[in-house]
Amino acid sequence: MERPLTQNIRPGEEPLDLKEYERAGGYQAVRRALRNMTPQMITQAVKDSNLRGRGGAGFPAGLKWSFVPMGDDAPHPKYMIANTDEMEPGTFKDRLLVEGDPHQLIEGVIISSYAIQANVAYIFVRWAYKLAAKRLNQAISEAYENHYLGKNILGSGYSLELYLHVSAGRYMCGEETGMLNALEGRRAIPRAKPPHPTTIGLWGKPTVVNNVETLCSVPHIVNKGVEWFKSLSHTQEGGTKIYGVSGKVKRPGAWELPMGTTIRELLEEHAGGMRDGVQFRGVLPGGASTDFLVEEHLDVPMDFDSVQKAGSRMGTGTMIVLDDQTCPVGMVQNLEYFFARESCGWCTPCRDGLPWTAQMLQAIEEGQGQSRDLERLAAHTKLLGPGHTFCALAPGAMEPLQSALKYFRQDFERHIHEKRCPWR
Amino acid sequence: MLSEEERREIQAEIPHYEQKRACCIEAMKIVQQHRGWVSDESIQDIAEVLEMTPDELDGVATFYNLIFRRPVGKHVILVCDSVSCWIVGYDHIRDHLTTRLGIHFGETSADGRFTLLPIACLGTCDHAPALMVDEDLYRDLDPEKVDEILAKYQ
């Protein structure tokens, strides 16, 4: 099985430096792209490869790029941003890529920037990823020294400045318009869409924000072609995917596997099954802001369309497992507490609704819930749902709650009737 | 007043952005690196360098949880309280820390050594529970390991 994204990653060791990366075939895609391909050819290849955004929303990457104004009349400069603000609870895949092979991300950024003719790019790294930032800094200077960055890259006439921005915290920075505000030195609140950042983005100029894993896939598409990329997948969506599993399983971890690997294979083969003495009850398939799936969904292939059909979202593809010795009410309370704290406060349903939700869950967990609380919580999942808020934070927060009320309702009711948490 | 070094470091960051003010988060991080936190006086000084008003800058400062607008201890402990850590024993880690240090979240120990803060998912969920002390990440924690970690920071 081919694992292009992680082929150079040696866990526990230093990443490849520039020379080693070149010897492993690195930066060949930049040469090929700048010498033999027009920006339109690259965008078309990425479109044809069916590469969907790996940050969670699954938007087709090539389609996003195709919205950027091109040609001599296009606004200047345009910007490319690598979203390395991995803060979705339960998600640890981009850390692996950036710490393990920083040059791969830089190569992806260069080619993607060229495809939209951006002349400035940022890698936006969260504060906590100290090692990733250190390794990126080192790799960026090596890339400048070797003329993969800067003016007139490899004599092609194309120029790109790449800067590292290390953030100062807050989940909202990972939302693409929040990230633009953070880069402009403002509070990371979301912006109204449309206009989308592809036309009015950073400092009002066309801007593409892509996830790390998405960008890391691009050099491989350029090198080996669309058909090869599609053939890596078990399903229609191209490529491999970094999947992860955390919770009470025998071997928590992250693995690069064909897109469309089933939940069962991930849990049983790669994560080694549940720890001895605990039983599987459910799973958040792709981070904190995705709906629970349960036993009946174990054979669902993990790709964007299949997980959506099963009633959830693949999200980041890093799953969190709920077991029978963990209280589902307590788990949802933990999730809602996170979302309430990370709400930026810009719109009322999110700012006020999330703390109410978290408090109601806390009351239930502490044995002070009333039977009406379940209706109130259900009402909140609608009031804070899609269409009522400025960005996707609160609707995302409602996904684990609405599905917990559906699949674990008896556990909520037990808390209320017994006036205590049965797990304590 | 900003030191020469702080000024120099801030000036070096300004060209990375289209506008001066965009550098303000970077500038506050620089000052915090040198002084441990960002005082009212520093807010005024940074605002002046970046041609912002102090209230504008403070509005940015107070949004970001890793810009400290109050003094912190010599070392800052950031304990991940998100879901994967919660499932595998965050409660024990938190309780052990609060008992050992005699403080709650948001407080600094009486000897000024540690400030204890919660933090969102540290992105190392396959090695939960996790925490950071200053810039160092610690994983697969249990109470004994926490004691060893605390002993390293004097």
Tokens of A85: 């603000």
Q: For the sheet containing B75-80, what is the strand order?
A: B114-119, B75-80, B131-133, B136-138
Q: Inform me whether the pLDDT recorded for A64 exceeds 90.
A: yes
CA geometry: angle A144, A145, A149, nearest 5 deg: 20
Is B94 among the domain residues?
yes
Q: What is the CA radius of gyration of chain A?
A: 22
Q: With bands split at pLDDT 50, 70 and 90, how would you rate the model's confidence at A306?
A: very high
Same domain, B30 and B79: no
CA distance A84 to A179: 10
pLDDT of residue A92: 97
3 state DSSP class of A125 = strand
Same domain, B13 and B33: yes
ipTM of the complex: 0.97
Is B36 among the domain residues?
yes
Report the residue of A83, A120, A184, A365 to disrupt the B interface, i.e. the one with the largest count of B CBs within 10 Å. Answer: A184
Look up residue B154 and give its amino acid.
Answer: Q
3 state DSSP class of B132 = strand
The set of residues, in sequence order, having a beta carbon less than 8 Å from that of A97 and lying 6+ positions away, is: A5, A6, A9, A104, A105, A212, A213, A216, A242
CA distance A20 to B94: 43
Same domain, B42 and B94: no
Is B68 among the domain residues?
no
Same domain, B83 and B141: yes
Same domain, B53 and B99: no
Domain extent at residue B11: 4-63
pLDDT of residue A11: 86
The mean pLDDT of B87-99, rounded to a whole number, is 97
Closest to A89 (Cβ–Cβ): which among B23, B64, B121? B121
Same domain, B49 and B94: no
CB contact under 8 A, A91 and B125: yes
CB contact under 8 A, B126 and A182: no
Closest chain B residue to A275, measured at CA:
B88
CATH number at residue B89: 3.40.30.10
Tokens of A15: 């990443």
Report the residue of B21, B25, B51 to disrupt the A interface, i.e. the one with the largest count of A CBs within 10 Å. Answer: B25
Q: At which of B19, B35, B63 does a domain end?
A: B63
Contacts of A211 in chain B (CB under 8 A): none
CA distance A259 to A235: 7
pLDDT of residue A387: 94
Is B27 among the domain residues?
yes
pLDDT of residue A278: 98
3 state DSSP class of A412 = helix
Same domain, B80 and B24: no
Chain A and chain B share a number of CB contacts under 8 A equal to: 136
The mean pLDDT of A242-271, rounded to a whole number, is 98
Q: Inform me whether the pLDDT recorded for B118 exceeds 90.
A: yes
CA distance A109 to A120: 10
Tokens of A358: 């978290």
Tokens of A157: 């006439």
Q: With bands split at pLDDT 50, 70 and 90, how would you rate the model's confidence at A1?
A: confident
Tokens of A173: 């920075």
Distances A217 to A142, A256, A259 between C-alpha atoms, Å: 21, 12, 12
Q: At which of B63, B86, B112 does a domain end?
A: B63
Please give the mean pLDDT across all residues of chain A.
97
Residue A238 phi/psi, 5-degree rounding, is -70, 155
CA distance A62 to chain B (A): 27
CATH number at residue B30: 1.10.10.1590
Tokens of A39: 């920006």
Burial class (CB in 10 A: 0-12, 13-18, 19+), A24: middle
Distances B147 to A118, B108, B152 between C-alpha atoms, Å: 49, 17, 9
Closest chain A residue to B87, measured at CA:
A247
Same domain, B137 and B104: yes
3 state DSSP class of A218 = helix
Q: Inform me whether the pLDDT recorded for A415 exceeds 90.
A: yes
Q: A239 near A49, Cβ under 8 Å?
A: yes
Is B70 among the domain residues?
no
Is B28 among the domain residues?
yes
Tokens of A84: 């390395």
Residue range A139-184, pLDDT digits in tens: 999 999 999 999 999 999 999 999 999 999 999 999 999 999 999 9
The mean pLDDT of A270-287, rounded to a whole number, is 98
- The upper half-sphere exposure of residue A28, i.e. CA atoms within 13 Å in the direction of its Cβ, equals 12
Is B44 among the domain residues?
yes
Q: With bands split at pLDDT 50, 70 and 90, how would you rate the model's confidence at A351?
A: very high
Closest chain B residue to A127, measured at CA:
B66
Same domain, B85 and B115: yes
CA distance B18 to chain A (A): 8
Residue range B30-88, pLDDT digits in tens: 999 999 999 999 999 999 999 999 999 999 999 999 999 999 999 999 999 999 999 99
Is B69 among the domain residues?
no
B146 and chain A in contact, CB less than 8 A: no
CA distance B110 to chain A (A): 26
Q: What percent of chain A has pLDDT over 70?
A: 100
CA distance B125 to chain A (A): 6
Q: What is the CA radius of gyration of chain B?
A: 18
3 state DSSP class of A162 = strand
Closest chain A residue to B121, measured at CA:
A89
CA distance B65 to chain A (A): 6
Distances B17 to A182, A184, A194, B12 between C-alpha atoms, Å: 12, 8, 24, 11
Q: A188 near A179, Cβ under 8 Å?
A: yes
If contacts are CB pairs under 8 Å, which of residues 12-51 in chain B contact chain A?
A: 16-19, 21-26, 28-29, 50
Same domain, B145 and B81: yes
Same domain, B94 and B49: no
Go through A143-165 and write b for each residue having 16 or more CB atoms within 10 A of its CB, e for each that does not. beeeebbeeebeeeebebbbebb
Give the helix/strand (H/E) hosting A246. strand A240-246
Domain count, chain B: 2
CB contact under 8 A, A168 and B86: no
Closest chain A residue to B80, measured at CA:
A89
Q: At which of B14, B31, B63 does a domain end?
A: B63
CA distance A231 to A240: 9
CA distance A332 to A31: 49
pTM of the predicted protein model: 0.97
Which residue is it, tokens 């994560």? A271
Closest to B65 (Cβ–Cβ): which among A92, A131, A169? A169
CA distance A34 to chain B (A): 24
The set of residues, in sequence order, having a beta carbon less than 8 Å from that of B41 and lying 6+ positions away, is: none
CA distance A33 to A114: 8
* Residue A43: count of CB within 10 angstroms of its CB: 22
Same domain, B94 and B121: yes
Q: Of the candidates A332, A318, A324, A342, which has an alpha carbon nearest to the alpha carbon of residue A373?
A: A332
